[in-house]
Chains A and B, each alone.
Chain A
Amino acid sequence: LCRECKRLTILNSELFTLTYGALVTQLCKDYENDEEVNKQLDKMGYNIGVRLIEDFLARSSVGRCQDFRETADVIAKVAFKMYLGITPSVTNWSPAGDEFSLILESNPLVDFVELPDNHSTLVYSNLLCGVLRGALEMVQMAVDVKFAQDSLRGDNVTEIRMKFIKRIEENLPAGDE
């Protein structure tokens, strides 16, 4: 990558990261406690996810996934790479094959971020959970997504746990939350 292109790339992901940081700061001002902020981030993520999926499908021309394992691979190797420039690893499959973990060695959302002491229960990157949930709902999958480990809260890695709940019927309308 030539130096100019590299700088463009860095700047653009910083734009998202910095804007996200400003949003979290604003939410912490607006809400009484971390739990409320977490919920709001999840909601906003959901609203983004239900639209992002179309953008993703248009860009990636990925076909319909045959099973949850394929979905996991597409999320980790295509979607995360495309939007956040990282490729988490897919591990810790449940025996039934309905639950897995995404392990993020580094989380681009948290560059230069430190949680202040009075926000120990804030799930800073919770937007991601909502995005994944909203996006998958649009392709007829109801999933539960949450952070199992968080590097911002002292864990070595960041781990997102995804669980398949059920298939959604095609004609159920989805709206904003």
Chain B
Amino acid sequence: MSVYIMADEALFQFLHNEVIQYIYKSSEHGEMENGRCITKLENMGFRVGQGLIERFTKDTARFKDELDVMKFICKDFWTSVFKKQIDNLRTNHQGIYVLQDNKFRLLTQLSAGKQYLEHAPKYLAFTCGLVRGGLSNLGVKSIVTAEVSVMPACKFQVMIQKM
């Protein structure tokens, strides 16, 4: 059973990498173009995140507050998608949350350390969208960004938008 689940994840990782190659292959180099590609990836992740939450939380009880929703993302959601929980959640209790993953699955193949650091955002964009889409379907509007300094650790910043 566990082998089956792991292989499933491998297939997604291969697809994720290929999607990134595709999005970037036909673009030119430059700031503007990079931004466009990141946006495309983020939007794809958004739609997928919405779809995942739609099916996942049918049986779950309602969340009592925003923090509860974020804990769900950090525990249940992250475990289901990335086979581990978020390692650290911080908040300023004013709508900003920082989710730290010390060994982000989609970065472990890229490098350990600072090599290819400039490429890391490409590998985070889809997941930012995934989180934003998941939150959206849970009734929470947000902006999600990611930051990485030493791979494979990274931080996702969620800024809740008042609707």
Contact = CB atoms under 8 A, between A and B. Distances in A.
Query: Is A bound to B?
Result: yes
B65 to A, nearest CB: 24
Contacts of B8: 9, 12-13, 16, 83, 85
Interface in B1-48: 1, 3-12, 14-16, 18-19, 21-23, 26, 40, 44, 47-48
Interface string A52-72: 100100010000000000000
A39 interface: no
Contact of B4 (A26, A30, A40, A82): A82
Interface stretch (A17-25, A99-107, A136-144, A165-173): A17-25
A8 B52 CA distance: 12
Contact of B51 (A12, A14, A26, A44): A14
A119 interface: no
B145 to A, nearest CB: 20
Which interface class (under 10, 10 to 19, 20 to 34, 35 or more) fits A?
A: 35 or more
Nearest to B40: A26
Interface string A63-103: 00000000000000000011111000000000000000000
Contact of B52 (A14, A40, A176): A14
B56 interface: yes
A26 B5 CA distance: 27
Contact of A16 (B4, B12, B26, B79): B12
A11 B56 contact: yes
B55 interface: yes
Nearest to A176: B21
A176 B22 CA distance: 12
A40 B12 CA distance: 18
Given A55-B14, A84-B11, 7 more contacts: A1-B1, A19-B12, A23-B15, A23-B22, A26-B40, A51-B14, A52-B14
What 8 A-B pairs have minimum CB-CB distances, sorted nearest first? A11-B80, A22-B44, A18-B48, A82-B7, A18-B51, A12-B8, A16-B12, A48-B14
